Every structure is written in structure tokens, then in C-alpha cells.
Amino acid sequence: MSRDMSDVTHVKNDRPARRRRGALVERATQWWSRRQGHAPPAPAPAPDAGAPLDPAHSALWRMRTTVRDEPGSLAALCTSLARHRVDILSLQTHPLADGTMDEFLLRAPQELPSADLARAAAEAGGTGTWIERADAHDLVDAPTRILGLATRTALDAAELPLALRQLLGRCTIRSLPATAAASDTTPVGGSFDETAMRLRTPEGGVITVERPYLPFTPTEFARARALVELDARLGSRVPRSQDVLTLPEGNEITVRRARPTDLAASKAMHERCSQRTLGLRYHGPVGDADRYLNHLLSPRFGRTLAAQTASGRIVALGHLLWDGDETEIALLVEDDWQRRGIGAELLERLVALAVEAGCESVYAVTQASNTGMVAAMRGLDLPLDYQVEEGTLVITARLGATPEAARPPYEQAEQH
């Protein structure tokens, strides 16, 4: 049989069947209309659970929770959050030995409490859930943020502790110099446990990072170690920018970042200072200047500004020192150059560096008889707190919230 004849036969044979199906459909429709009096009702529209959240009436959260490392576990968690109209803005995964720790940046309805977020995670199998309020700076994706921290570290060795703090969140960072770390058993590649990291610095010191409220992950340790390795490969580096200032009497001084190579000039300045000036700065007898100047001039422990004359002689030093969770400010001005505004100029610049670094406050340890330091702190026009401790005066200046480090209080929601 030809192809054409076959097609014709198929069509002719199918026509009665189609007529029978059409008649059945027509009778069924007539029966439904007589029974209901109208056409079948359309399904009710589903609630618009996917409507975008209004940023003005929403809140940003960071959430960490651990799920089983198996197919579908992440999907279940996302579905559970979606029931509360929670939008997932970003996700990072931290592989663990017994699962995966997922870190979310979430946008949730403003009225949704953190307890409901933690409950949604628990219903999807999440454990060890931890939640904190986030802000607009968390919207920067992780790779971009880490590259920015690496760039800052590459330009300035003093940025390493700050970069670690911004990488790892609210934590306490302490630096141990090589002389004090000689007997430390930390391996070259560093080590970490749930609450502490220990990282070797290029000169043989140790940086300790502590975060007792949130366990470190292997991913975080690898990122921190990569920053330290970058710092080690680049060696000592300090920005070379400087400003020339004219003093009231017409003399010019240059203000710049001090470097470890300024040790000899700084020691010479100390030798020109009177015992009274050194006593007000160091709160007692001054011993071997080489020992503490090596520490003060190292970018590993903070930032130092030097004021030098046209001939290159250093006549003042200002220090911004990282002290765990706090930041200390200290000044030393050579006797012949006091009462000329140099100390106040250095102090204002140190405070600007502290704000740039995200410090919430700075403190100075001095004596009530050090009227120059007290006046310089008052001249900052910042809220000051005064406290007397063991005969010394501690003046704390509150800098307020700063963009890169100030965050709302951390909130932990542990599910049992």
C-alpha cells in the first residue's frame, strides 16, 4: 500500500471515533451545567509569597547553620526559609568533617524575629544555628571583599591585623613579637581550633586570633593563612606619602609614616628628651630604648607617625597601637619642639587613622600633670571618658560607629 493511500485510510477511519468523543464531551458539559448552574469554578489564586520585599520594611541578617552533606539538604533549608518570605541574597559553603556549614546573607520581613529564622533552619535539619544582624556593607560579595582586603594588606603591612579582623568578624587579635615567640610551638603553617587561630608572621612572631562565640571553620583558616602568606611574600612596606606643615613661627615640618628603618633617628630623639618628658610618656623610668622602639615602629603592632624637620631630624612620634579589642594612642614630642601644635597635629591624624581602621574608640594613658596631652585630647572635640587607674589617668575618646567594623550586637540562636 502506498504512503498516500495509507494516510487517507487513517484519516477516514479516525473520523467516527472523533465524532463519538466530541459527543461525549458535549453531553458531560451539559450535565455539569444543569447540576451546578454555571461553568466549573476557576481555582483560587495562590497567595503571592514570592512578592519582593520592600527594603525599607525589611531587615538584613547573617545566618550560619550546619546541614547534612547529602542531596536535598540545602533545598529543604531554602524552602523552609521561603515559607517566611525570606530572600537569600548570598550563600557561602564551609565544608566540615561531618557536614557542611552554610552561611547566608538574608533579607527578611522587618517584623520577623531571629527566633523564627532559627526555627525555620531547625525544621529543615539545620543544627548549631547562629544569627546576627547585618548591614549594607555585608552586601558586598565575599570574593570582592577578600580581594579588597588583600589589596590593602599589599599596600601597607600595618593593615594585616585589621584585614584579619574584617575577614573574621568580631574577634580579638594579639601579636607576639619574634623575641617573645621563640619558644612558641605554633607550626610554620599555623594552627587553629574552634575558638582560636595561631598564625606565624614573616619575622617569626605569632598572631593569635580569638573568637569564642563562633567556631572557626577550615575555610576561614585557609583565607586567613593566605593573607598572612601574602604579607610574608611582600616583605616590609609602609606608604611613603607625607605632608609638609608650616608652624606658627614659620618653621616647616614633614609628617609621614614612620618605618623600622627610623630606629636610629628615633633613639636619637629620645636621647635629646628630658627625663621629665620621657617619664610623662612612659610613666616611669625609661630603660633600653632599642627594645620598645623596635616594637613601636613595627607596622605589625600599629601605625606610627613621625614629625621631622627640614634637615631630616625626627622631633616627635605619635603611635596608634592595636591592643587586643582596644586601640591606644601615645605621643612623644622633643622638649625644644613642644607647645607648637605638633602634638595636636599628630593626635588628629592618628584619630583619623583609627576611624579609617574602624576603631570605635581610642585611649591614652598619661598623668594628670601632663597638661599638654590632656589639652590635646580635649581639642579633638570628641566625647571623652576619664578614669584614674593606679595613679595614672586613662582618657578614652569615643569615635562612634565607623563604616567597616562597627556592627550591631551579635546574636546567637543555638538550637538544641
Provide the residue range defining the domain that includes 166: 142-234
Q: How far apart are CA 253 and CA 299, in angstroms?
A: 23
Residue of 186, 174, 104 lying closest to 138 (CA atoms) = 104
Same domain flag for 159 and 258: no
For the stretch 270-296, what's the b/e string if a residue is b when 16 or more beta carbons lie within 10 angstroms of its beta carbon?
Answer: beebeeebbbbbbeeeeeebeeebbbb
Question: Cα(302)–Cα(86) distance, rounded to whole angstroms?
Answer: 41
pLDDT at 26: 57
* Domain match, 329 and 374 both: yes
Q: What are the φ/ψ torsions at residue 38 (nearest 5 degrees)?
A: -160, 175
Q: Is the dihedral of CA 170, 174, 175, 176 positive or negative?
A: negative
Based on the domain organization, do 252 and 392 belong to the same domain?
yes
Residue 186 has pLDDT above 90, yes or no: no
Mean pLDDT (whole number) for 7-34: 45
Q: Which span out of 45-49, 139-143, 148-152, 275-279 was modeled with the highest average pLDDT?
A: 148-152
User: Are 162 and 178 within one domain?
Assistant: yes
Distances (CA, A) of 118 to 64, 158, 204, 315, 414: 10, 38, 43, 58, 8
Higher pLDDT, 189 or 220: 220
Among 136, 165, 184, residue at a domain's last position: 136
> Quick one: pLDDT band at residue 284, thresholds 50, 70, 90?
low
Asked whether residue 333 is assigned to any structural domain, the reply reads yes
Distance between start and end Cα atoms, the chain: 77
Number of domains in the chain: 3
- Whether 269 maps to a domain, the answer reads yes
Centroid of chain to Cα 348: 25
375: CATH: 3.40.630.30
Residue ending a domain, choose from 198, 217, 234 = 234
Residue 217 amino acid letter? T
Q: Are residues 74 and 154 in the same domain?
A: no
CATH number at residue 110: 3.30.70.260
Grid coordinates belonging to 336:
625644644
In the chain, the amino acid numbered 66 is T
Indicate the residue among 176, 203, 234 that finishes a domain: 234
89 in any annotated domain: yes
Residues 254 and 390 in one domain: yes
Residue 222 has pLDDT above 70, yes or no: yes
Q: Is residue 152 located within the same domain as residue 126?
A: no
Residues 172 and 178: their CA atoms lie apart, in Å, by 19
In a domain, 18, yes or no: no
Contact, 133 vs 151, CB < 8 A?
no
Residues 295 and 393 in one domain: yes
Instruction: Mark whether 125 and 151 lie in a shared domain.
Output: no
Instruction: Provide the pLDDT for residue 85.
Output: 93
Of 118, 115, 121, 52, nearest to 89 (Cα)?
52
Same domain, 275 and 223: no
Number of residues assigned to the chain: 416
Q: Is the pLDDT of residue 34 over 50?
A: no
pLDDT band at 218 (very low <50, low <70, confident <90, very high): very high
